[in-house]
Amino acid sequence: MGRLYIESLSGHKIFKCKFCKVDSASHEDIVSKDFQGRFGRAYLFRHAVNISLGPTEERSLISGLHTVNDIYCSSCQQILGWRYEKAYEPSQKYKEGMYILEKERMLKEGW
């Protein structure tokens, strides 16, 4: 394991890990708020920080088969959501490289 590096996001509206309160993603990077996660509603982000990726796996989701990695908070190792590595449906391709963060696992701080 390398040394832990915590990146801070600038901006007023930041989502943080609910468990250890490091920054996870910026409100400005939300692509959609209309996703379903393991724990309820989830948001799709263009970018996320302070995360580590789990193993690559094929997963059948509501929107079809995808190659995904679960994402974990790099500070406290709690699972936060997943990242789309590859989508097979042309209509879902836009999600490749984007991040799902579970609303239930995030804190909104200061707003």
Among 76, 79, 92, 103, which residue sits at the site for Zn ion (rule: CB under 5 A)? Answer: 76
Minimum CB separation of residue 104 from Zn ion in Å reads: 14
The CB-of-1 to Zn ion minimum distance in angstroms stands at: 15
CA distances from 11 to 56, 63, 109, 110, 111 (A): 31, 32, 11, 11, 11
Check residue 14 for interaction with Zn ion (CB under 5 A): no
Judged by CB under 5 A, which stretch of 1-9, 13-21, 31-39, 101-109 contacts Zn ion?
Answer: 13-21
